[in-house]
Amino acid sequence: DSGVTQTPKHLITATGQRVTLRCSPRSGDLSVYWYQQSLDQGLQFLIQYYNGEERAKGNILERFSAQQFPDLHSELNLSSLELGDSALYFCASSVSGGTNEKLFFGSGTQLSVL
């Protein structure tokens, strides 16, 4: 158990809908990362937060947004969903989000858009 909690584990929804994925980092970790994993693209970095502030942005679509709350949990919001958004979404956390820190990953949320 990595200590990172993601909910829900599975989510099935329809095209055009909006969903929210939730992540609680390990106790003491201040930085949260979101990744998307699909069979053809592998693990793609979406966005990183540190202590409530956005620190880095990757290949995140404009339809997607995220935030980190004062209690350090994070939410990833996906809107106007398309079939191609179906993927496994992982949250990871690290102590300070700095150099050479290892990331601890949650078990992921499997999103299916029908």
**Site for another protein contains 22 (CB under 8 A):** no
Kindly tell me which of 84 and 98 has the beta carbon lying closer to another protein: 98
Instruction: For residue 98, state whether it binds another protein (rule: CB under 8 A).
Output: yes
H or E stretch covering 38: strand 31-38
Say how far apart CA 113 and CA 29 lie, in whole Å: 31
* Cβ distance to another protein smaller for residue 103 or 113: 103
Q: Residue 51: which region, alpha, beta or left (left: phi > 0; alpha: psi -120 to 50)? A: left
| DSSP conformation letters of 78-91 | E-S--GGG-EEEEE
**Residue for token pair 């290892």:** 102
> Does 49 interact with another protein (rule: CB under 8 A)?
no
**What's the rounded Cα separation, in Å, for the pair 7 and 41?**
23
For another protein, the closer CB: 18 or 49: 49
Q: How far is the CB of 10 from another protein (least distance, A)?
A: 11
Instruction: Pick the closest to residue 74 from 25, 11, 28 (CA basis).
Output: 25
Q: Which stretch binds another protein (CB under 8 A): 11-19, 50-58, 65-73, 75-83?
A: 50-58
| Residue range at the interface with another protein (CB under 8 A); choices 21-29, 60-68, 71-79, 94-102 | 94-102
Residues in contact with another protein by CB under 8 A are 2, 4, 33, 35, 41-45, 48, 55-56, 58, 90, 92, 97-108
